[in-house]
Amino acid sequence: QLQLLESGGGLVQPGGSLRLSCAASGSTLDHFAIGWFRQAPGKEREGVSCISSSGDNTNYADSVKGRFTISRDNAKNTVYLQMNSLKPEDTAVYYCNARRQQPLVGRTVDYWGQGTQVTVSS
């Protein structure tokens, strides 16, 4: 089974940068679309960005457009989220999600990592 492990979180000052990684094991990521989500204390989980299995298509929440970049390296079985110009409002636990559609067997498969903490504070 696919397992996901996020890394790269930490404490950064406003205006700084971090790069999050989502590394997969147990299976390859090349057939999965990947999404990054975040959840701050007392708030709902929010979709941040997603990337298609091929890497050709990406989407971003309005709150992070122009600042965050999602990418993937299927050879390394890893997806990245480059976060620039960080703001205190970006503080949250960031989660990686992998989704695979399998229409021939009539199912969608979802996997989640356990999250990595990002704190933006001076």
> What was the pLDDT predicted at 102?
87
Amino acid at 50: C
Positions of the chain with pLDDT under 70 = none
pLDDT for 76:
96
Give SS3 for 92: strand
Helix, strand, or coil (residue 46): strand
List the structure tokens of 80.
């990245």
Confidence at residue 103, expressed as pLDDT on a 0 to 100 scale:
86
Query: Torsions phi, psi of 103, nearest 5?
Result: -65, -30
d(CA 90, CA 37): 11
